[in-house]
């Protein structure tokens, strides 16, 4: 499964929480896809699995 598909399945709130945990700067108005590209792939896969 690629990053785009996983980003569609995840919620924006969960993606933002993971980014905050990793101290990733999101910028002014991040989309789910841009956040998904910045966070570690393992975290994204775990989020989609649950």
Residue whose entry in the numeric block shows the structure tokens 């598909």: 5
Spatial separation of the C-alpha atoms in residues 19 and 27, rounded to whole Å: 11
Spatial separation of the C-alpha atoms in residues 20 and 49, rounded to whole Å: 20
pLDDT at 32: 94
pLDDT at 50: 77
This prediction's pTM: 0.85
Q: What's the whole-number mean pLDDT along residues 23-50? A: 92
Residue 34 banded pLDDT, cuts 50, 70, 90: very high
Q: What's the whole-number mean pLDDT along residues 9-28? A: 93
Q: Using alpha carbons, select from 1, 29, 50, 25 the residue that is nearest to residue 12.
A: 29
């Amino acid at each position: 499964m690629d990053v785009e598909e996983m980003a569609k399945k995840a919620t924006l709130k969960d993606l933002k929480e993971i980014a905050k945990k990793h101290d990733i700067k999101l910028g002014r108005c991040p989309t789910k896809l841009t956040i998904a590209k910045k966070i570690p792939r393992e975290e994204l896969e775990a989020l989609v699995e649950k």
